[in-house]
């Protein structure tokens, strides 16, 4: 490794010492990417840095330098490189995606540490970079929900679903919030979407059963709760199956009472 780094250093010294020599930027890129393919991150970093000495406005080199910096654990340097790549070329999609991913990851970490205001800021920066990021909208919705901002959270979950209609987690959270607000028809619709995507989701069946019960649709509620109990047990979640079973049993008893013939009068 030491020998290889020395060879690279000598190569770069001659390039810089004799500026009259023609510099083949594409060849340097090829060499740098070769180092990346071999996971020789330090050599790749040196090569991209050298490219930027000759072409400081090369957006692709700034992006690749950022990617290599991340591999080396230099996150702050990586962010600066991504930002510079975007400044030079706003359509540099790879740098945009990388920066968006950084903000989303930071936001998740801050939320887990209960630093909610800072987390919101990170997700908003991610969305400013990519308004069509279903993941950023969903994660922002979770923070807003955690802060008790239900309506704002609903708006973010709806945005996530607009971008990705098959984002099951967004449908699940949306259904739960609608249920809390007493919007049981909407809650039922969202739980049905979850089941379209995950036909064996016990939580969705349970939520759907509760929503149907609130809407006075007892038979549909019983059927959904039966499925919830079944899939909870299959998943080994007996503790979660019990509340669904208790509600199912209660509704079946009510149905039996309602359908029983009235007692005959004695003459």
> Helix crossing, 116-129 with 93-112: angle to 10°?
170
Instruction: Establish if 38 belongs to a structural domain.
Output: no
Instruction: Establish if 93 belongs to a structural domain.
Output: no
Q: 43-78 pLDDT, tens per residue?
A: 999 999 999 999 999 999 999 999 999 999 999 999
Triad 149, 215, 257: Cα angle to 5°: 140
CATH code assigned at 181: 1.25.40.10
Question: Is the per-residue pLDDT at 170 higher than 60?
Answer: yes
Instruction: Establish if 160 belongs to a structural domain.
Output: no
Instruction: Establish if 238 belongs to a structural domain.
Output: yes
d(CA 157, CA 176): 11
Handedness of CA 168, 174, 179, 180 (dihedral sign): positive
What is the domain range of residue 231? 165-255
Q: How far is CA 195 from CA 23, 74, 127, 200, 225, in A?
A: 59, 43, 28, 7, 13
And the tokens for 2? 């030491």
pTM of the model: 0.81
What is the pLDDT averaged over residues 147-168?
97
Instruction: Establish if 109 belongs to a structural domain.
Output: no
Instruction: Establish if 27 belongs to a structural domain.
Output: no
What is the pLDDT averaged over residues 73-93?
95
What is the pLDDT averaged over residues 124-150?
96
The total of structural domains in the chain comes to 1
pLDDT above 70 covers a percentage of the chain that reads 89
Q: What are phi and psi of 266, to 5 degrees?
A: -80, 140
Confidence of residue 264 (pLDDT cuts 50, 70, 90): low
Instruction: Establish if 215 belongs to a structural domain.
Output: yes
- CA-nearest of 212, 175, 215 to 191 is 175
And the tokens for 42? 């330090």
Question: Is the per-residue pLDDT at 15 higher than 90?
Answer: no
Q: 201-249 pLDDT, tens per residue?
A: 999 999 999 999 999 999 999 999 999 999 999 999 999 999 999 999 9
């Amino acid at each position: 490794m030491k020998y290889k780094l020395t060879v690279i250093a000598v190569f770069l010294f001659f390039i810089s010492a004799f500026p009259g020599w023609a510099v083949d930027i594409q060849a340097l890129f090829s060499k740098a990417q070769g180092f990346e393919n071999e996971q020789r991150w330090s050599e790749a970093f040196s090569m991209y840095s050298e490219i930027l000495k000759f072409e400081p406005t090369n957006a692709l080199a700034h992006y690749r330098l950022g990617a290599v910096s991340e591999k080396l654990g230099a996150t702050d340097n990586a962010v600066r490189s991504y930002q510079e790549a975007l400044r030079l070329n706003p359509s540099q999609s790879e740098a945009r995606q990388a920066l968006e991913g950084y903000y989303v990851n930071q936001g998740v970490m801050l939320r887990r540490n209960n630093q909610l205001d800072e987390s919101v800021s990170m997700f908003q920066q991610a969305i400013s970079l990519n308004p069509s990021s279903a993941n950023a909208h969903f994660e922002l919705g979770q923070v807003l929900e955690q802060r008790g901002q239900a309506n704002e959270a609903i708006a973010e979950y709806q945005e996530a679903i607009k971008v990705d209609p098959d984002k099951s987690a967004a449908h699940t959270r949306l259904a739960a919030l609608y249920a809390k607000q007493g919007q049981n028809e909407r809650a039922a619709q969202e739980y049905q979407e979850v089941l379209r995507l995950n036909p064996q989701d016990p939580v969705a069946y349970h939520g759907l059963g509760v929503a149907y019960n609130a809407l006075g649709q007892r038979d549909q509620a019983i059927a959904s709760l039966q499925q919830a109990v079944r899939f909870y047990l299959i998943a080994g979640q007996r503790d979660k199956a019990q509340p669904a079973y208790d509600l199912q049993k209660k509704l079946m008893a009510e149905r039996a009472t309602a359908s029983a013939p009235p007692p005959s009068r004695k003459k």
